Amino acid sequence: MSPIEPPLSFNPAGIELDRRQGLTRQLYQALRQRVLDGRLVSGTRLPASRDLAAALAISRNSVVRAYDQLYAEGFIEARVGDGTYVAHLPQNPARGAKLSTKPSTGLSTSLSPGLSTNLSNSVDISNRKVIHSSALERLDRHHLPRPPSGPPRAFRVGVPAFDLFPFEVWAKLNAAFWRRPDLQHLCYGDPAGDWRLRGLIAAYLRSSRGLQCGAEQIVITSGAQQAISLCAQLLVEPGDGVAIENPGYRAAGHAFAIAGANLHGVAVNAEGFDCTALSQLEGCRLAYVTPSHQYPTGVVMSLARRLELLAWAERSDGWIVEDDYDGEYRYSGAPLAPLAALDRSGRVLYVGTFGKVAFPALRLGYLVLPAGLVQAFAQRRAVDVRHSEISTQAVMAEFMAAGHFQRHIRRMRRAASSRRDAVLAGWPRDVAGLGDLPTMTAGLHFMVKVDSLEREEALVAKAEAVDVEVNALSRYWLPGPGVPTDAQAGLVLGFAAVPPAAIAQALARLRQAWAD
């Protein structure tokens, strides 16, 4: 009969405590980590609380509280009349193994007295298994870059004149909501969004866009990007073809690609999206377009092209995702009627946002959907976020109902027009390789052609050197076979982010930088 082996004992010599910090918490974490990484194996006997307190020169109460926490979490167990032991835990590959970035040598090493291990059990971090997932691989290729940091500066794209937003009015409406909130607003809300806000958006679109829709067709989203992502999640099966403008809004392409779509870049010319090229694509049942002000070229899709696109959707039983991201900004006449206003067969999903008339951080957008899709979109959105943040929706509804929204849009349109004029007045002339300014009748940005990719890169670098943001048009093209061509070169600039005086100063710096 073999003799009973005595339990392993623990030597606390390796525990160092900082007297300026909580001693109980430090001791608990030190013991817990030793159990997790295998330095304290199952069955190891721990010192009595009085003995451990004496060894560490701390109060017994600190040790008792640390032991109590470890016991509550299952790391140790007390045996009546026999002391405290490390609990028997399931074997974990990380336990009993020393993580090392160095190759194993096969040599043994000693740890604290009473405990030992062998480097033959060591795990080389470089050999850890990598999780393979097609979704993760798609995300690795299709993700959004980090946005520019710091306050807006010339000529940041996608930023409205939010320095003019009536924050005092918004703050009063927000305070009024929280002063006496309706209790139903504090519960879980409708995933499609606040009914009152949906009704006000529908009324606004009917009067300003000629889009005949009702509150029941609208789903509130966390900005336009979530609206596009929902379209990708519900309308695209892996392997489906999706047509996107090329050059175009890359973030939309990323959303469809992550859903498993095969992206087809469709050229944009003076009339907009090339519907002839679209018709020749096989297996394509969805098109994403920005017809009112193409992003980034600024082209307005002609009526003939709009009708062609609608006919394609009806003929192919396809869908059109229309992104009207800055349709409020029209500098000659009223805003254009959207593609959705011409739709008679329920094939257009209209994406709108408050980010371009308020401020991007608001994260408030919406979808106007064919009636048969509303429930599915609301259900899918609920899986991700349950519902939108309630107070923002309620405050925006009051902001619109009280007339502040329409007044603010008029003010923003005047400001954007003034800032556009500042660009036209001070734009550098006769810069080598740089094309002429386009006619800017809509939107918050413009595009200027450059004669080569090399010149594009140089102009962008020189602008950045004088603290001016200028985007390269080549970054908006869908990656394809071969290298980018000089025909894809250009500059994309936003003109609404800063006041006219700041625009004039930035243009003066550009003139000097580009004169070289």
484, 485, 486, 487: CA torsion to nearest 10: -110
What's the pLDDT score for residue 219?
A: 97
Are residues 499 and 378 part of one domain?
no
pLDDT digits (tens, 9 = 90+) for 409-446: 999 999 999 999 999 999 998 899 999 999 898 999 99
**How many degrees, rounded to 5, is the angle at CA 289 between CA 267 and CA 236?**
105
Buried b (16+ CB within 10 A) or exposed e, 16-31: ebeeeeebbebbbebb
pLDDT digits (tens, 9 = 90+) for 459-494: 999 999 999 999 999 999 988 765 568 889 999 999
Give domain status of residue 473, yes or no: yes
Give domain status of residue 259, yes or no: yes
What's the pLDDT score for residue 10?
A: 73
Residue 332 pLDDT class (50, 70, 90 cuts): confident
Has residue 121 got a pLDDT over 90?
A: no
Range with lowest mean pLDDT among 359-373, 376-390, 458-472: 376-390
The CATH number assigned to the domain holding 480 equals 3.90.1150.10
Task: Give the whole-angstrom CA distance, residue 494 versus residue 473.
Answer: 13
The pLDDT of 19-46, averaged and rounded, is 91
423, 428, 429, 434: CA torsion to nearest 10: -100
Are residues 458 and 386 part of one domain?
no
**How many degrees, rounded to 5, is the angle at CA 366 between CA 365 and CA 368?**
160
The total domain count for the chain is 3
Are residues 273 and 253 part of one domain?
yes
The CATH number assigned to the domain holding 367 equals 3.40.640.10
Q: How far is CA 216 from CA 42, 43, 193, 337, 345, in A?
A: 61, 64, 10, 21, 18
Are residues 94 and 10 part of one domain?
yes
Give domain status of residue 132, yes or no: no
What's the pLDDT score for residue 348?
A: 97
Has residue 2 got a pLDDT over 60?
A: no
Are residues 363 and 265 part of one domain?
yes
What's the pLDDT score for residue 94?
A: 52
Give domain status of residue 257, yes or no: yes
Could you tell me which residues are beta bridge partners of residue 349?
321
Give domain status of residue 129, yes or no: no
Give domain status of residue 113, yes or no: no
Are residues 212 and 88 part of one domain?
no
Range with lowest mean pLDDT among 131-145, 266-280, 353-367: 131-145
Pairing assessment for the beta strands 108-110 and 116-118 based on DSSP bridges:
antiparallel
**How many degrees, rounded to 5, is the angle at CA 434 between CA 430 and CA 437?**
85
Give domain status of residue 135, yes or no: no
Are residues 211 and 243 part of one domain?
yes
- What φ, ψ does residue 337 adopt, rounded to 5°? -65, 135
DSSP label of 38: T
Domain span holding position 473: 408-514
Are residues 361 and 299 part of one domain?
yes
Biggest CA-to-CA distance, the chain:
101
Other Cβ atoms within 10 Å of 205 Cβ, number: 24
Are residues 444 and 412 part of one domain?
yes
Residue 127 pLDDT class (50, 70, 90 cuts): very low
pLDDT digits (tens, 9 = 90+) for 75-112: 999 888 888 999 988 866 555 444 443 433 332 323 33
Has residue 202 got a pLDDT over 90?
A: yes
Are residues 424 and 376 part of one domain?
no
Has residue 115 got a pLDDT over 70?
A: no
The CATH number assigned to the domain holding 1 equals 1.10.10.10
Helix runs in 259-387, H state only: 275-279, 303-316, 374-385
Are residues 259 and 318 part of one domain?
yes
What's the pLDDT score for residue 387?
A: 77
pLDDT digits (tens, 9 = 90+) for 261-318: 999 999 999 999 999 999 999 989 999 999 999 999 999 999 999 999 999 999 999 9
Has residue 117 got a pLDDT over 80?
A: no
Task: Tell me which of 384, 402, 420 is where a domain ends.
Answer: 402
Task: Tell me which of 402, 434, 458 is where a domain ends.
Answer: 402
On average, the pLDDT of the chain sits at: 87
Give domain status of residue 159, yes or no: no
Are residues 413 and 365 part of one domain?
no
What's the pLDDT score for residue 181?
A: 85
Residue 333 pLDDT class (50, 70, 90 cuts): confident
Task: Give the whole-angstrom CA distance, residue 394 versus residue 366.
Answer: 14
Helix runs in 240-373, H state only: 250-258, 275-279, 303-316
